Amino acid sequence: MKVFEMIAKTWTAARKTFYRARGYYAGSLNGLPFRLDPYHSKFWRKASAGRWEPETFAVLDAHLNKEQDYLDIGAWIGPTTLYGAARARRVYCFEPDPVAFRYLAWNLELNGVQNVSAFSVALSRGVGIARMASFGGEAGDSMTSLLTDGDHGSDVITLGWKDFSDATDLSKVSLVKMDIEGAEFDVLPSLLPWLKAHRPALYLSTHAPFLDAATRQHRMQELADSLSFYDTCLEDNGRASGFDTLTQQRALTQFPTFLFKG
């Protein structure tokens, strides 16, 4: 067994060395080919095999076309931004983690993407500087949040939603994806007037376990109430619908995503 493990590790290391020497990993997202940064080849292999959030790609397919724009809040290294750019007229994306943003920018460059405006800032209550770090303990690992400011974190620039929306024509945005590791409870309220006025579909990842246990139910109920102007709320696993799903056990103890539309 140890011999086979050693061979597997050697092969994996050799593949990584090859991808990095070549400068990219040749993969795909929901069937579309892309050149992808070689330092996340394990993730890109999973995504290329269709094992990473197929429900997210289904939402992107359903709500984007070349006459509409996409707003990706919490872009990480770019899987949804890259795919969204292939589907939409224009993409606006935010990724404040400096490590993740470096790979996001690299992936956009590898594919010659010209219709993405990428911002290395965190949407927050206003312009300022905030400390953020990863719940996973490693910068750039997709779990960076404004809710934690550990020693391994970094300072980031914050931007208020109104400052951004007042300076940008967002009239063609048909889909907003928000996955910001618990900061949604503070950031989303600032988007509510715009969401009510324009009614784009909202694909919202929730992170109640990052909150104090005593406040989770209340904060999730506030979230449900604030988004009740939408006609429909669908849970990402397709098993349930309705605004009450935001306060049920799965939403309080796991990290589901909800689609609001209508």
CB 108 within 8 A of CB 75: no
Question: 184 and 155 in contact (C-beta within 8 Å)?
Answer: no
Do the Cβ atoms of 204 and 257 come closer than 8 Å?
yes
**Mean pLDDT for the stretch of residues 3-24:** 71
In tens, the pLDDT along 118-142 reads: 999 999 888 888 776 565 555 554 4
Output the pLDDT for position 239.
74
Instruction: Return the pLDDT at 127.
Output: 87
Judge whether residue 146 has pLDDT over 70.
no
> CA 96 to CA 116: how far, in whole Å?
16
Kindly list the structural domains of the chain, giving each domain's residue range(s) and its CATH number in brackets, ordered by start: 20-205 (3.40.50)
C-alpha atoms less than 13 angstroms from C-alpha of 244 in its C-beta half-sphere: 1
More confident residue, 29 or 11: 29
Per-residue pLDDT at 48? 98
Crossing angle of helices 2-22 and 41-48, rounded to 10°: 90
Residue that wins the pLDDT comparison between 152 and 191:
191
Q: What is the pLDDT of residue 151?
A: 59
The more confident residue out of 157 and 74 is: 74
Work out the average pLDDT over 164-188.
95
pLDDT tens per residue across span 44-75: 999 999 999 999 999 999 999 999 999 999 99
pLDDT digits (tens, 9 = 90+) for 215-245: 999 999 999 999 999 999 999 877 778 999 9
Burial class (CB in 10 A: 0-12, 13-18, 19+), 3: exposed
What is the arithmetic mean of pLDDT over 32-43? 96
In whole numbers, what is the pLDDT of the chain averaged over residues? 90
What is the distance between the alpha carbons of residues 135 and 127, in angstroms, rounded to a whole number?
Answer: 24
What's the pLDDT at 74? 96
